[in-house]
Amino acid sequence: MSSYAYSYGTTAGNLYNEGIKNLVDFGNKYKDNETVGGMVAGTLADTFATQANTGTALAYNNAFLGSLANYQGGMENLRTGNQMKLMAAEGNIAGGLIDKQGGWQIKGIQETGSQQRQNIGVQGTQDRMNIAATGTEQRLGMKTKGSEDRLTVGEAGRQERLNIGERTTQELRARADARGAVRRGGARFFG
């Protein structure tokens, strides 16, 4: 038995430790028996060989899995890099298309604006011509109407003067008739 106590952290470690301790105790109990000594020594030798083989296997597995992890990580990095290159290429293509589309839209807007300016210019010229023609027609119409109005007013004035003259003549005749009737009536009265 050892002079210090060692605590194994796992159930497997505890079982191994107890098994070896019991095997050594059994061998010490029958230390004079060659068969028991050979059996204990053989079992310990097998156990130590198994430990060594297990360590070798673990080292191999760790090395293999580490290598596999490095390989897998390299593949992931390669795949990620390829995806990033593809995404960058797609981004460049999309950016180029967007730039071209934007250029086309700008050209379309410029052309539309140019056409609208031309149409506005033509419309403005037509509107000015229409306004000028309308103004001329209105001035001619006003001139004609003014002439007609002057003739109408002149004729109305002439008719009014004739009517006034006729009324005046009739009033004068009525007064003369009244004076004559008064004279005749007075002469008859005064006799």
pLDDT of res. 34: 93
Mean pLDDT for 1-26 is 78
pLDDT of res. 40: 92
* 146 within some domain: no
pLDDT of res. 190: 66
Asked whether residue 20 carries a pLDDT value surpassing 60, the answer given is yes
> What CA–CA distance (Å, rounded) separates 50 from 59?
14
* 21 within some domain: yes
Convert the pLDDT of each residue in 132-179 to its tens digit.
Answer: 778 777 877 777 777 787 878 888 888 888 888 888 888 888 888 877
* 171 within some domain: no
The upper half-sphere exposure of residue 97, i.e. CA atoms within 13 Å in the direction of its Cβ, equals 6
Estimate the crossing angle of helix 34-190 against helix 11-29, to 10 degrees.
Answer: 170
In which domain, by residue range, is 65 found? Answer: 11-112
Number of domains in the chain: 1
> Does the model's pTM come out above 0.85?
no
20 near 47, Cβ under 8 Å?
yes
Asked whether residue 27 carries a pLDDT value surpassing 70, the answer given is yes
Position 1 confidence tier, pLDDT thresholds 50, 70, 90: very low
Q: Mapping DSSP to helix (H, G, I), strand (E, B) and coil, where does residue 2 land?
A: coil
* 170 within some domain: no
> What CA–CA distance (Å, rounded) separates 48 from 135?
124
* 168 within some domain: no
Q: Is 47 exposed, middle or buried (0-12, 13-18, 19+ CB in 10 A)?
A: middle
Convert the pLDDT of each residue in 45-103 to its tens digit.
Answer: 998 888 889 889 888 888 888 888 888 888 888 888 888 888 888 888 888 878 778 77
* 155 within some domain: no
* 189 within some domain: no
